[in-house]
Amino acid sequence: MPEPTTRRGKDTKGRIVESAAALMYERGVSSTSIEDILAASGTGKSQFYHYFSSKEQLVAEVLRHQLQQVLREQSRFPLDTWEGISAWFGAMVDMQQNQRDYRGCPLGSITSQLLDHGDLLRTQAADAFAHWESVLSDGLQAMQSSGLLRDDADPDTLAETTIAVLQGGYLLSSTKRDVRPMRNALAIARSQLRSYASDACR
Amino acid sequence: MPEPTTRRGKDTKGRIVESAAALMYERGVSSTSIEDILAASGTGKSQFYHYFSSKEQLVAEVLRHQLQQVLREQSRFPLDTWEGISAWFGAMVDMQQNQRDYRGCPLGSITSQLLDHGDLLRTQAADAFAHWESVLSDGLQAMQSSGLLRDDADPDTLAETTIAVLQGGYLLSSTKRDVRPMRNALAIARSQLRSYASDACR
């Protein structure tokens, strides 16, 4: 589908994606109909089909939107310092309890609902996770350059494993409506990272 | 709903749950209709509604079924030895790749699809995870008794964190169709457990 060229067109498309993301995060992907999204965003069916050929295409945009939210939230923390990483972990636990009402990771929650829905959306979700990991990996590489992290650490693997452990913490926390499993999982992720701290930082 | 009392009734109910579990694991919960389940199990609508008042009640039974599958799979491994735990971790990675076609954890996969569907199913899923963790915790307690695990280890917390980390590994592995994130996540879970190995076992 063509990207909107006018400001008004961009606003409309953005509003649809925003409403879809909020509804799908709250109710789940399959429980959110295009009609629900039209009503929530105040747009009409013809506008919708001007920008999206299908619900699948909309969900692909929602995945990108959720990735951007995750990246925006974490951009408040300097992920190239030990203190920044710890503060980021703490903030995610706090958000899960106080802002997300235990709904889980904005990206992980939607991804786990899409794994049975074909390779297109699964691949988009995999790309979103790879992007997220690359941002964390960049921070870890900067820590190597500045001497905080040992040279024998593998930033890409550490970043991927950290995100994996985080996702598991989110799932158990959302299932039990309890932050403890998330906090404990992140404590392990932190220990794993710290095991590569250079001697000066231990 | 009343439990079936005849052998034939038990067979029918069991066949419905079995078919539902297989279809929901393959296609997702929302993409599996009662009609699909009737066709797959070779039962009629009146039989179905004799045993289940709703799809929700069936899903609750599917959760129990998936827990039993997980427990049956892991019962092959002595989870009160270091070798048994390592073999169990290895077997799950192997199954994810070679038997599950990257569909993820039988229990975690369905749970992540139910979190937006009300407290009844979420609570059932939380109970299923608690049961799973208690079996692992029993193994860790036996390791304390036999001197393999230090007395200052907390078996319940270690079990919960292990299952959380496992779930995160499954999610990233299923998203990327790659066992690496699962293998690396489980390596962390193993390190965490081993950090409580008694001195004689290190």
Going from N- to C-terminal start, the domains of chain A cover 1-53, 59-201
Q: Is B186 in CB contact (< 8 Å) with chain A?
A: no
CB contact under 8 A, B164 and A164: no
Among A165, A171, A163, smallest CA distance to A187 is for A165
Question: Looking at beta carbons, which residues of chain B come within 8 Å of A125?
Answer: 175
- Residue A184, helix vs strand vs coil: helix
Instruction: Report H helices in A28-154.
Output: 34-41, 45-51, 55-74, 82-98, 106-114, 119-145
Question: Looking at beta carbons, which residues of chain B come within 8 Å of A129?
Answer: 172, 175-176
Average of pLDDT values for B95-106? Answer: 96
Question: Looking at beta carbons, which residues of chain A come within 8 Å of B160?
Answer: 172, 180-181, 184
Among B100, B27, B31, B112, smallest CA distance to A112 is for B112
- d(Cα A141, Cα A136) in Å, to the nearest integer? 9
Query: Could you report the per-residue pLDDT of A169-178, keeping only the tens digit for each?
Result: 999 999 999 9
- d(Cα A150, Cα A5) in Å, to the nearest integer? 48
Confidence category of residue B8, pLDDT binned at 50, 70, 90 = confident
CB contact under 8 A, A160 and B181: yes
Domains A1-53 and A59-201 equal at CATH topology level: no
Name residue B149's beta-bridge partners. B197
- pLDDT of residue A202 exceeding 70, the answer is no
- d(Cα A202, Cα B8) in Å, to the nearest integer? 65
Cβ(A173)–Cβ(B163) under 8 Å?
no
Question: Given this model, what pLDDT does residue A165 score?
Answer: 98
Q: Could you tell me what percent of chain B has a pLDDT over 70?
A: 99
CB contact under 8 A, B171 and A111: yes
Query: Could you report the per-residue pLDDT of B32-60, keeping only the tens digit for each?
Result: 999 999 999 999 999 999 999 999 999 99
Question: Given this model, what pLDDT does residue A191 score?
Answer: 95
CB contact under 8 A, B167 and A167: yes
In B, minimum Cα distance to A182 occurs at B164
**CA Rg, chain A, in Å?**
19
- d(Cα B22, Cα B17) in Å, to the nearest integer? 9
Our CA-based measurement puts residue A145 at a distance from the nearest CA of chain B, in whole angstroms, of 24
Cβ(A202)–Cβ(B199) under 8 Å?
no
Mean pLDDT of chain B: 95
Q: Is B160 in CB contact (< 8 Å) with chain A?
A: yes
List the end-to-end C-alpha distance of chain A, in Å, as a whole number.
Answer: 53
Count CB-CB contacts under 10 A for residue B55.
17
Which of A78-82, A153-157, B113-117 shows the lowest mean pLDDT across its residues?
A: B113-117
One-letter amino acid at B124 equals: Q
Question: Given this model, what pLDDT does residue A117 score?
Answer: 83
CB contact under 8 A, B109 and A115: yes
In B, minimum Cα distance to A158 occurs at B184
Among B167, B168, B159, B91, smallest CA distance to B131 is for B159
Confidence category of residue A201, pLDDT binned at 50, 70, 90 = low
- Tokens 């820590």 identify what position? A143
Interface residue of A110, A171, A192 to substitute, partner B, most B CBs within 10 Å = A171
Q: Residue B6: left if φ>0, alpha if ψ -120 to 50, beta else—which one?
A: beta
CB contact under 8 A, B171 and A112: yes
Confidence category of residue A21, pLDDT binned at 50, 70, 90 = very high
Average of pLDDT values for A128-138? Answer: 98
Average of pLDDT values for A1-11? Answer: 83
Average of pLDDT values for B134-145? Answer: 98
Q: Is A28 in CB contact (< 8 Å) with chain B?
A: yes
Average of pLDDT values for A40-58? Answer: 94
Angle subtended at Cα A168 by Cα A167 and Cα A171, rounded to the nearest 5 degrees? 85
Question: Given this model, what pLDDT does residue A5 score?
Answer: 81
ipTM (interface pTM): 0.95
Q: Is B180 in CB contact (< 8 Å) with chain A?
A: yes
Interface residue of B63, B102, B116 to substitute, partner A, most A CBs within 10 Å = B116
More confident: A121 or B200: A121
Name residue A149's beta-bridge partners. A197
Name residue A197's beta-bridge partners. A149
- Residue A98, helix vs strand vs coil: helix
Question: Given this model, what pLDDT does residue A20 score?
Answer: 98
Q: Is A189 in CB contact (< 8 Å) with chain B?
A: yes
User: What tokens does B57 get?
Assistant: 């009640």
Chain A, 136 to 155: residues with Cβ < 8 Å from chain B are none
Our CA-based measurement puts residue B20 at a distance from the nearest CA of chain A, in whole angstroms, of 15
Among B9, B110, B135, B4, smallest CA distance to B60 is for B110
Query: Could you report the per-residue pLDDT of B166-202, keeping only the tens digit for each?
Result: 999 999 999 999 999 999 999 999 999 999 999 776 6
Class of domain B59-201 as given by CATH: mainly alpha
Count CB-CB contacts under 10 A for residue B145.
11
Our CA-based measurement puts residue B81 at a distance from the nearest CA of chain A, in whole angstroms, of 22
Question: Given this model, what pLDDT does residue B27 score?
Answer: 94
Q: Is B107 in CB contact (< 8 Å) with chain A?
A: no
CATH topology of domain B1-53: Arc Repressor Mutant, subunit A (1.10.10)
